[in-house]
């Protein structure tokens, strides 16, 4: 099976040029001007861009949050991914209190194997740190899961103290793994929430008061300090505020191995949304911030202090789930969909407005996620020998974001009505078309599990 993509403009993290690509057996076998070899299928990409398949390293499929189950499993979630140009996801395999990491990995593999349309890997999301969990780290890494995730806003059985964090960072780093951290101070959040409830301040407009940026900054500084003591690299996920970004930049200026991720909603939406009558739709953690924070985040993307933009796709319905918190936000699950919208929103808000170049878009959405999480050069670039995962993108298209065009099971999108420039036209996974103009052709179970390389600083 050979496929020839002709007449497109190839855009990688470092280069922009016109060329054809020849695919054989799912691998890019040749890149050159006017390739004229006979192929089973010829795709004309004239007037369009050819990008690497996007890599989303922060998703939550078929997961529990706040006592509820997300509405997207690996079939519907990866269908939405494919339609939006994402050909690889790294999902959070979430340990339950008392559960082993090996069983957690097995459970998530079983969830994905017959359903995933795109390729997938896992982070091991650890909710407890003890000697048994620490002892499992090397075998999990050997199984190809080379990153772990801890939350610093946990409480009860999921509370992680500084000593446990230090020991975990040391064990994970020694095993060749990267530790990712959600940095918000859970003790202070609990106090703020109790006060808000006591005062009757539970409408969605008070969500930012429960988790102000100072709470994120304090936990970010804590994470950076403990990582420095552990001499271990960290990746800070879902960076949302100027306050936290300042801590990251200062650490990186000192030469510390600190990687940062943000999400499209922190770059394009603001806390004004919580004033809406259905403001609880936008409840996420960290919460949306005043719009000036997004200006700082964009500058950090340009400077290289933020490395990755992921969706944090955690999809719920408004009806029957999110709306339970319409009068009391503490009753609503945290998170919303965004995997399908990520690439178009980032192109429109970043490239079309001149904030970033097309190459930087590819870097933060495809290449650097693949590099950091042990998938490069198989994923994240267009090069001879790489998997033929590609997005043929139309930069001139104009659309309005709408739930009507979404493939997530969620009954809403947080980007409803947003006018965007640029759209995914065609998506190929290992040389096969899996999506065309928002219609998914790929089959459930067609995605492959991706064992990942051990971590090394790119």
pLDDT, one tens digit per residue, over 87-119 is: 999 999 999 999 999 999 999 999 999 999 999
Tokens, residue 447:
């995605």
Provide the pLDDT confidence category of residue 1 given band limits of 50, 70 and 90.
confident
- Residues sharing a CB contact under 8 Å with residue 291, sequence separation 6 or more, in sequence order: 270, 272
Quick one: 126 exposed, middle or buried, by C-beta within 10 A (0-12, 13-18, 19+)?
buried
- Flag whether the pTM goes above 0.85: yes
Whose structure tokens read 């859970």?
A: 186
**Looking at the domain assignment, is residue 289 inside a domain?**
yes
- pLDDT tens-digit map of 240-266: 999 999 999 999 999 999 999 999 999
CATH of the domain at 328: 3.20.20.140
Q: What is the pLDDT of residue 405?
A: 94
**Looking at the domain assignment, is residue 408 inside a domain?**
no
Provide the pLDDT confidence category of residue 457 given band limits of 50, 70 and 90.
confident
Picking from 170, 175, 115, the residue whose alpha carbon sits closest to that of residue 145 is: 175
CATH of the domain at 11: 2.30.40.10
**Looking at the domain assignment, is residue 412 inside a domain?**
no
**Looking at the domain assignment, is residue 406 inside a domain?**
no
Residues 132 and 144 occupy one common structural domain: yes
Residues 358 and 280 occupy one common structural domain: yes
Residues 90 and 13 occupy one common structural domain: no
Picking from 80, 24, 14, the residue whose alpha carbon sits closest to that of residue 385 is: 24
**Looking at the domain assignment, is residue 91 inside a domain?**
yes
Answer whether residue 458 shows pLDDT above 80: no
Residues 35 and 125 occupy one common structural domain: no
Alpha-carbon span 142 to 136, nearest angstrom: 10
Residues 214 and 270 occupy one common structural domain: yes
Mean pLDDT of the chain: 97
Alpha-carbon span 72 to 281, nearest angstrom: 16
- pLDDT tens-digit map of 389-411: 999 999 999 999 999 999 999 99
- The 8-class DSSP code of residue 349 comes to I
* Mean pLDDT of the 333-361 span: 98
Residues 348 and 428 occupy one common structural domain: no
> Three-state DSSP class for 456?
coil
* Mean pLDDT of the 270-297 span: 98
Residue 245's φ and ψ, nearest 5 degrees, are: -60, -40
Q: State how far Cα 270 lies from the chain centre.
A: 19
Residues 350 and 213 occupy one common structural domain: yes
**Looking at the domain assignment, is residue 269 inside a domain?**
yes
> Three-state DSSP class for 140?
helix
* Mean pLDDT of the 290-297 span: 98
- pLDDT tens-digit map of 223-242: 999 999 999 999 999 999 99
Picking from 227, 248, 236, the residue whose alpha carbon sits closest to that of residue 167 is: 227
Domain of 32 in residue numbering reads as: 2-51+380-395+422-440
Residues 14 and 84 occupy one common structural domain: no
Whose structure tokens read 């070899």?
A: 37
Provide the pLDDT confidence category of residue 456 given band limits of 50, 70 and 90.
confident
**Cis before 377? omega within 30:** yes
Answer whether residue 443 shows pLDDT above 90: yes
Alpha-carbon span 60 to 73, nearest angstrom: 9
Residues 71 and 204 occupy one common structural domain: yes
**Cis before 331? omega within 30:** no
Picking from 36, 11, 41, the residue whose alpha carbon sits closest to that of residue 26 is: 41
Q: Which of 337, 372, 407 is the last residue of a domain?
A: 372
Asked whether 319 and 411 are in contact (CB, 8 A), the reply is: yes
**How many Cβ atoms are within 10 Å of 42's Cβ, its own excluded?**
12
The stretches of 114-263 forming alpha helices (DSSP H) are 131-142, 162-174, 186-198, 207-210, 213-230, 242-253
Residues 109 and 45 occupy one common structural domain: no
**Paired strand residues for 439:** 436
**Could you write out the DSSP letters of every residue in 288-347?**
P--THHHHHHHHHHHHTS--EE---B----TTTTGGGGSS-GGGSPP-B--TTTHHHHHI
**Looking at the domain assignment, is residue 409 inside a domain?**
no
Residues 18 and 108 occupy one common structural domain: no
**Looking at the domain assignment, is residue 204 inside a domain?**
yes
Residue 217's φ and ψ, nearest 5 degrees, are: -65, -40
* Total of domains in the chain: 2
Provide the pLDDT confidence category of residue 156 given band limits of 50, 70 and 90.
confident
Residues 170 and 313 occupy one common structural domain: yes
- Using DSSP bridges, classify how beta strands 68-69 and 234-236 pair: parallel, antiparallel or unpaired: unpaired
């Amino acid at each position: 099976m050979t496929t020839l993509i002709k007449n497109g403009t190839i855009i990688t993290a470092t280069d922009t040029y016109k060329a054809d690509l020849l695919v054989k057996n799912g691998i890019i076998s040749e890149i050159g001007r006017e390739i004229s070899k006979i192929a089973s299928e010829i795709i004309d990409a004239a007037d369009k861009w050819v990008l690497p398949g996007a890599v989303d390293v922060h998703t939550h499929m078929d997961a529990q949050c706040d006592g509820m189950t997300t509405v997207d499993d690996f079939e519907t979630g990866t269908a939405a991914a494919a339609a939006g140009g994402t050909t690889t996801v790294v999902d959070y395999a979430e340990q339950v209190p008392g559960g082993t990491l090996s069983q957690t990995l097995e459970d998530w593999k079983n969830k994905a194997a017959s359903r995933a349309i795109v390729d997938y890997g896992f982070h091991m999301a650890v909710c407890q740190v003890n000697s048994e969990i620490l002892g499992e780290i090397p075998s999990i890494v050997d199984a190809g899961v080379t990153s772990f995730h801890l939350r610093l806003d946990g409480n009860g059985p999921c509370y992680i103290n500084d000593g446990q964090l230090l020991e975990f960072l040391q064990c994970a780093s020694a095993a060749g793994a990267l530790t990712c951290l959600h940095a918000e101070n859970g003790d202070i959040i609990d106090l703020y929430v109790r006060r808000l409830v006591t005062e009757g301040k539970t409408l969605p407009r008070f969500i930012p008061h429960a988790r102000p940026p100072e709470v994120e900054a304090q936990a970010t500084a804590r994470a950076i300090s403990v990582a420095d003591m552990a001499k271990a690299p960290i990746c800070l996920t879902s960076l949302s505020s100027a306050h936290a970004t300042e801590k990251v930049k200062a650490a990186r200026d000192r030469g510390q191995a600190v990687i940062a991720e943000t999400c499209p909603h922190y770059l394009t939406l603001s806390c004004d949304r919580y004033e809406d009558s259905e403001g609880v739709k936008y409840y996420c953690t960290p919460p949306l911030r005043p719009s000036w924070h997004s200006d700082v985040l964009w500058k950090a993307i340009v400077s290289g202090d933020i490395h990755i933009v992921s969706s944090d796709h955690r999809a719920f319905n408004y009806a029957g789930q999110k709306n339970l918190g319409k009068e009391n936000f503490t009753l609503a699950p945290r998170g919303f969909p965004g995997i399908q919208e990520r690439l178009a929103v980032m192109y429109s808000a970043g490239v079309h407005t001149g904030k970033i170049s097309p190459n930087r878009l590819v870097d933060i959405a495809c290449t650097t996620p693949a590099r950091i999480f042990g998938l490069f050069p198989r994923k994240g670039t267009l090069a001879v020998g790489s998997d033929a995962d590609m997005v043929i993108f139309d930069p001139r298209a104009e659309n309005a974001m709408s739930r009507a065009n979404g493939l997530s099971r969620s009954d809403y999108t947080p980007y409803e009505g947003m006018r965007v420039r640029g759209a995914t036209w065609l998506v190929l996974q290992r040389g096969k078309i899996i999506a065309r103009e928002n219609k998914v052709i790929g089959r459930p179970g067609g995605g492959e599990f991706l064992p990942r390389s051990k971590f090394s600083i790119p």
